[in-house]
Each structure stands twice: as structure tokens, then as C-alpha cells.
């Protein structure tokens, strides 16, 4: 877990989960966590959505990896997220168009769009993408290597389809779920498509998850103390907050 916070401060990095050194889910903490050699071994970056805290290292990694990879780093992004990356980041103004550099034929990154709701293959993984509730097109994932699967909610408010897929997954080993704002900011959480401890409890009630641990992430650092307090009061079984640097084998 390279980053699991909803904001960046010393000791807090934004969302970024590294799977087996080759695949990264979201790009909020790649360049702050990995060496140049480790970055060059990442073949795929899978994005939940286009918000800055999730995509911010894609342009920095592209710059660092110029001339260091034989094949492009593939950035898997939903249709709208891919368009945002092209139009708003790699537009030659905010950042050079690294999808055509150093040459059009042999670029350092490739942005590969997927349609939300589709299942895609990335290396040895199967990824089911599921639309969730957020102000921009956003997806959660069910990531499986055929033996074990994990669910990653992405940024979302209360949602349905994602939990249906989770409940249908027989090999589910863990759930990574967002929780951003304390209960006192319920209105802001609802407006911005995020969960509070209160709405999280409602979401978890939709899941058949006997024995499946739930790891929470995307806490806004400014509200961390209140978030932890609200969560403790709920005394939810098998639920804990992710810490940067946590490592798991599923
Ligand atoms: Zn977001
Ligand atoms: Zn976010």
C-alpha cells in the first residue's frame, strides 16, 4: 500500500496500491515510493478515475521512464478518464504529450481506454470494472488471478452494482473501501460522492462478507481524528484502516 490517503502531507500519500511490483492501481504515490529501477518494472497502471489525487504521478512517471522501457507503460483508464488525461494533462501545455514521445511509434506510455462495466485482462489478472457513484466517471474493481480476488471500491458514495459483483465473487479475500469524511460532514460527503463511517456501515450491510476483511482508505488527512473516532463508535467487525506501507498476500 504505497498510498492510502485522501490527501498528501508528510506521512500521508494519495491512493496507490502496488500489486506484485508490475501493476499499480491508481497513481497517487508512485514516484514518492519507488526507485527508478522499481518504476521501470511497472508495466501497467490501472486508474479508478481522473481526479488529481489518483492520476498525479502518471505524468511524472512518463517523464522519468523516457528511454528506460522497451514497451510502453500501459495506463488503463475508463473512456472519460482517458479523454481527460489526453486533453487536460498530456496536451502539450500542462505537460508534453508522452503518448507520442520519444517517437509516435515507440512512446513511453500508452493510454488504453476501457468501457466501465467491462472485464479486462492485465498480465495474469482479470479485472472486472464496475461503475460507482462519484462526480466524474469512476469505477471500482474486482481484481483476480483466478485463485484469489480482491475488491477495490474506488472513490464512491453509496452504490449498488459494485456490491452485487462483490457478493458474486466466490474467491473474495479482501475488500478495500473508501471512507473520506467524518459523519459531521455528511452533506459534503454526499455532494462529493464519498463515504462517511455512517454511510460505510450502510454499504457494508449490503455485503455477504463472512471472514472477508475490510480495509479502509482515502481518509482526508484534515479529518483523520474525527474519522477514527466515528469509526470506533460503530465497532464494525473485521474492519480496519489501511496504513501506508502495509503489505498483504492474498
Ligand atoms: Zn475522486
Ligand atoms: Zn480521491
With beta carbons less than 8 A apart as the criterion, state whether 122 and 44 touch: yes
Q: What is the mean pLDDT of residues 42-59?
A: 98
Ligand nearest to the CA of 6: 2
Q: Is the pLDDT of residue 219 over 90?
A: yes
Ligand nearest to the CA of 15: 2
The confidence band for 209, taking pLDDT boundaries of 50, 70 and 90, is confident
Per residue in 11-31, is it b (16+ CB within 10 Å) or e — as a string?
ebbbbbbbbeeebbbbbbbbb
Fold held by 17-241: Metallo-beta-lactamase; Chain A (3.60.15)
How many whole angstroms from 82 Cα to the centroid of ligand 1? 15
**What was the pLDDT predicted at 200?**
98
Q: What is the mean pLDDT of residues 159-165?
A: 98
How many whole angstroms from 209 Cα to the centroid of ligand 2? 25
**What was the pLDDT predicted at 210?**
86
Report domain extents, the chain.
17-241
Phi/psi of residue 104, nearest 5 degrees: -60, -35
Ligand nearest to the CA of 178: 2
How many whole angstroms from 101 Cα to the centroid of ligand 1? 28
Any residues with CB less than 8 A from the CB of 56 and at least 6 apart, and which? 14, 27, 28
Three-state DSSP at 216 gives strand
Q: What is the mean pLDDT of residues 31-58?
A: 98
How many whole angstroms from 13 Cα to the centroid of ligand 2? 11
Question: Kind of pairing, strands 214-217 and 172-178?
Answer: parallel
Cell reading at 96: 508534453
How many whole angstroms from 103 Cα to the centroid of ligand 1? 32
Q: What is the mean pLDDT of the chain?
A: 97
Ligand nearest to the CA of 220: 2
Three-state DSSP at 77 gives strand
How many whole angstroms from 51 Cα to the centroid of ligand 2? 6
How many whole angstroms from 196 Cα to the centroid of ligand 2? 14
Q: Is the pLDDT of residue 241 over 90?
A: yes
How many whole angstroms from 193 Cα to the centroid of ligand 1? 8
The confidence band for 183, taking pLDDT boundaries of 50, 70 and 90, is very high
pLDDT digit string, tens, across residues 107-117: 999 999 999 99
Q: What's the rounded Cα separation, in Å, for the pair 238 and 213?
A: 5
Name the percent of the chain lying above pLDDT 90.
97
How many whole angstroms from 137 Cα to the centroid of ligand 1? 9
Q: What's the rounded Cα separation, in Å, for the pair 46 and 82?
A: 11
Amino acid at each position: 500500500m504505497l498510498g492510502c490517503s485522501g490527501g498528501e502531507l508528510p506521512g500521508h500519500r494519495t491512493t496507490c496500491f502496488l500489486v506484485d511490483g508490475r501493476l499499480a492501481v491508481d497513481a497517487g504515490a508512485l514516484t514518492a515510493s519507488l526507485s527508478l529501477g522499481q518504476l521501470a518494472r511497472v508495466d501497467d497502471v490501472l486508474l479508478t478515475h481522473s481526479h488529481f489525487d489518483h492520476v498525479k504521478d502518471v505524468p511524472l512517471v512518463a517523464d522519468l521512464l523516457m528511454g528506460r522501457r522497451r514497451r510502453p507503460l500501459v495506463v488503463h483508464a475508463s473512456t472519460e478518464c482517458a479523454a481527460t488525461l489526453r486533453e487536460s494533462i498530456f496536451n502539450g501545455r500542462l505537460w508534453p504529450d508522452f503518448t507520442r514521445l520519444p517517437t509516435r511509434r515507440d512512446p513511453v506510455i500508452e493510454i488504453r481506454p476501457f468501457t466501465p462495466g467491462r472485464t479486462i485482462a492485465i498480465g495474469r489478472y482479470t479485472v472486472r470494472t464496475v461503475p460507482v457513484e462519484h462526480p466524474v466517471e469512476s469505477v471500482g474493481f474486482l481484481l483476480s488471478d483466478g485463485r484469489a480476488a480482491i475488491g477495490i471500491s474506488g472513490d464512491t458514495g453509496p452504490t449498488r452494482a459494485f456490491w452485487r459483483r462483490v457478493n458474486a465473487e466466490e474467491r473474495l479475500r479482501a475488500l478495500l473501501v473508501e471512507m473520506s469524511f467524518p459523519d459531521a460532514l455528511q452533506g459534503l460527503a454526499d455532494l462529493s460522492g464519498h463515504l462517511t463511517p455512517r454511510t460505510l456501515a450502510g454499504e457494508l450491510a449490503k455485503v455477504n462478507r463472512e471472514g472477508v476483511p475490510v480495509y479502509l482508505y482515502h481518509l482526508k488527512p484534515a479529518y483523520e481524528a474525527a474519522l477514527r473516532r466515528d469509526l470506533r463508535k460503530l465497532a464494525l467487525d473485521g474492519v480496519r484502516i489501511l496504513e501506508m506501507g502495509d503489505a498483504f498476500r492474498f
